[in-house]
Amino acid sequence: MPREIERQYKEILKQYVMQQTEKNLYAGQNFSRQLIKKNVAPEEVISVHKAALEEMFPELQTEVLHSFDFLIEMMIRYGLAHSEHQSLLQHQK
């Protein structure tokens, strides 16, 4: 994931975690479109999410962080399905 996207993700997430307003949720929804457009894999999103939580909550239980590694493994499979979709679309052009 490009550094700038990572920075933006952390910033938008932080806003949402502090205040669950419609506006902040909407910023997230808009941002998710960008992630897809830039071919960011879902496991990369989980990975940045984990890093963001580590920064925001330095006291977070190690077990919770381990659970993210598990979630990353889950999403790798979804990422494969997604990239398969992309190449199928390319192929059809």
User: Should residue 73 be labelled a site residue for its own copies when binding is judged by CB under 8 A?
Assistant: yes
Q: Does 20 bind its own copies (CB under 8 A)?
A: yes
Give the 3-state DSSP-derived string for 47-86, with helices as H, strands as E and coil as C.
HHHHHHHHHHCCCCCHHHHHHHHHHHHHHHHHHHHHHHHH
Alpha carbons 41 and 19: distance in angstroms, whole number: 27
Query: Is 42 an interacting residue with respect to its own copies (CB under 8 A)?
Result: yes
Between 3 and 37, CB nearer to its own copies: 37
Does residue 1 touch its own copies according to CB under 8 A?
no
The reply to whether 51 sits near its own copies by the rule CB under 8 A is no
**Residues in CB range of 36: below 8 A, 6 or more apart:** none
Minimum distance from residue 32 beta carbon to its own copies (Å): 4
